Chains A and B, each alone.
Chain A
């Protein structure tokens, strides 16, 4: 055994998170739905396909520029359903609140959740609240689960990715991670960066209307675009080529990254997704994204080719090449 205790890094969305899932959870809960390790489980009841997902939110600070833990709790779960082709319908939420947490802050969080649920057209239909003694939690933690119906006829999965597919991203990366870093008091940085937290189900519905041939979609949350692509390349056993200069990054996010030595590719997003589709459909998907308010800066960032070993190769701005792999270390703990 390499580790006898959980490290913060086990929750970072990188290599150690992966090890934790595949070595500890998967072997015990083994079933074909879980084994896919997609953002949602796609299940059938009778002739109807459903998708089902859950996520816990422990972000620190609870309030950050562009959102709060409540907006994450709705959007994160909605997006996990949407990228699996689901139309999100119903959600549950569980709250773990620390003794002494201001009711006013709770109300603000709940108002945000109601707003985001309305925007995403989902209903919160069941819930639970636990209060723990001061020190047993840090302010507030939220868990949400979501269920949606899957009407898209294709199989949206990493396994459906084909050599020749192009990869389309719906906008600039790194906003959420940079906003959280900027909000952490110990850095004494002031920035105008807002988190990109947004429900993407409406955008994704437009994408799926524009192309019946989308092979896979993922939201690029914890670990950022880099980690998601590295994971996909390994799982699909393909080589993914991406072009650095085609990946949109806002100037203020680049700035914070240059100062602190972060790579925007590995900063978290909460309103960004990638779609894999055949080249013939790329224009339609790109146009659908760019016509939506959450996809105005969408761009084709790369393509898939055949390979014996799954890997992501990035063409750098100066024309060099480098491998993009799963991140290690704790870049920013408690990012979502």
Chain B
């Protein structure tokens, strides 16, 4: 298949692995690389990349799976909203199984009779809103700079069509403040970052300047095996030459300036706000809230919501795993209590979650 097979070519993979091995020998010390994006974690697991790398190159997974970083409090709010009698709660499929307090989840709410619907794009909500004029459609807006512009477009289109029974419960987050928070963590021991390919198609390369400024390597990387290995090689070259910069491996998808049109759309509907990240706590200006002029489409303003203060789930290591401080195997619940069938933390729920990927593929 064109645009796929050439990036999974075993011969190219072997060539890249040879170069990675030579670079790792020359560097001659352990090197830790964090892949920020959940889709990278998934691809690394799916293709068995981790074990192909030299022993001194460690890949660890960062906070880049949007479902995984959704705080328990936001999940509890979602469960509350889904329970309201007049609400149709729309969500992407991965959120269904994320546990809130007491192991409750949207899929359990649905089994109790709540109207929870899985959509594959926010656009579907318009149809649902039009065919159920007497109901309130609440879409859980989860995702980073890649997803948020599509939600912004749907909000605009609802406004044009004068659809009033639709709102967005925005738990959207943006990536750069999370990276800054990681870089500020004295426990963090990371030499370089595989930066997310698709988020970067939106935000461009300059958004990651704080990484080389903190003397760490950064490469914006695509999602196929050849991309990932080339990204790792480019990181090692920066580390070896002590010449840190934001390089673009994923040049077929990413322009240095990003997608200015989509970002303009995003910024016309959303503004940054403080946000709670599971495992990272509250990070200033790291979330996306609807601007005041779109208050009619903002679930948080449309509904009166209870004051919910949920902390992280006791015993769950997701917080440390998202910060790259622990591996899933270090969590006492991993595989014993916390499994894909009965996930405790969100890293086990999402197919892109670090724990789920380790459980399935390692």
Q: Identify the A interface with B (CB < 8 A).
A: 2-3, 5-9, 14-16, 19, 186-187, 251, 254-255, 258, 260-261, 263, 316-323, 325, 328-330
Are B96's CB and A2's CB within 8 A? Answer: no
Q: In residues 29-53 of chain B, which contact A (Cβ within 8 Å)?
A: 45-52
Assembly CA distance A254 to B2 (angstroms): 11
Specify which chain A residues have a CB less than 8 angstroms from the CB of B24 in the assembled complex.
none
Least CB distance from A243 to B in Å reads: 12
B8 at the A interface (CB under 8 A): yes
- Please, how many angstroms separate the alpha-carbon atoms of A321 and B96 in the complex? 29
Whole-angstrom CA separation of A187 from B341 in the bound complex = 27
A189 to chain B, nearest CB (A): 10
Chain B residues engaging chain A, CB cutoff 8 angstroms: 1, 4, 8, 10, 13-14, 45-52, 93-94, 96-97, 107-108, 110-112, 119-120, 124, 225, 339-342, 351, 359-362
Cβ of B251 to closest chain A Cβ, rounded Å: 20
7 closest cross-chain pairs (CB), A and B: A320-B48, A328-B340, A15-B341, A322-B361, A5-B111, A318-B13, A321-B48
User: Contact: A322 with B342, CB < 8 Å?
Assistant: no
A16 to B340, CA, bound (A): 10
Given A318-B10, A328-B340, A330-B96, residue A186 in contact with residue B351 (CB < 8 A):
no
Q: How far is the CA of A15 from the CA of B94 in the complex (A)?
A: 17
Chain B binding site: helix, strand, loop or mixed by DSSP?
helix
Measured CB to CB, the closest approach of chain A to B99, in angstroms, equals 11
Tell me which residues across on chain A come within 8 A of B107, comparing CB atoms: 7-9, 330
In the complex, residue of chain A having the shortest beta-carbon distance to the beta carbon of B52:
A320
A19 touches B47 (CB 8 A): no
A187 to B168, CA, bound (A): 21
Contacts of A186 in B (CB 8 A): 119-120, 124
A321 to B362, CA, bound (A): 8
A-side contacts of B13, CB under 8 Å: 318-319
Residues in A neighbouring B225, C-beta threshold 8 A: 317-318, 320
A322 and B46: CB pair below 8 A? yes
Cα–Cα distance between A101 and B96 once the two chains are bound (Å)? 31
Question: In the assembly, what is the distance between CA of A258 and CA of B14, in Å?
Answer: 23
Bound-state CA distance A330–B96 (Å) is 9
The smallest beta-carbon distance between B26 and chain A, in angstroms, is 24
Complex alpha-carbon distance, A287 and B340, angstroms? 39
Whether the Cβ atoms of A316 and B47 lie closer than 8 Å is yes
Contact, CB under 8 Å: A325 / B48: no
Apart from the given pairs A186-B119, A187-B120, A320-B48, 14 other A-B contacts in the complex at a CB distance below 8 Å: A8-B107, A8-B110, A19-B341, A186-B120, A251-B1, A261-B351, A319-B48, A319-B52, A321-B51, A322-B48, A322-B361, A328-B340, A329-B96, A329-B351
Q: Does A323 lie within 8 Å of B361, measured CB to CB?
A: yes
Residues in A neighbouring B93, C-beta threshold 8 A: 329-330
**What distance in Å separates the Cβ of A23 from its nearest Cβ neighbour in chain B?**
12
What's the Cα separation between A6 and B112 when bound, in Å? 9
- Among B49, B342, B351, the residue within 8 A (CB) of A320 is B49
**Nearest opposing residue in chain B for A260, CB measure:** B120
Chain B residue with Cβ nearest A319: B10
Q: CB distance A316 to B48 under 8 Å?
A: yes
Q: How many Å from the CB of B181 to the closest CB on chain A?
A: 28
Given contacts A7-B108, A251-B1, contact A325 B10 (CB under 8 A): no
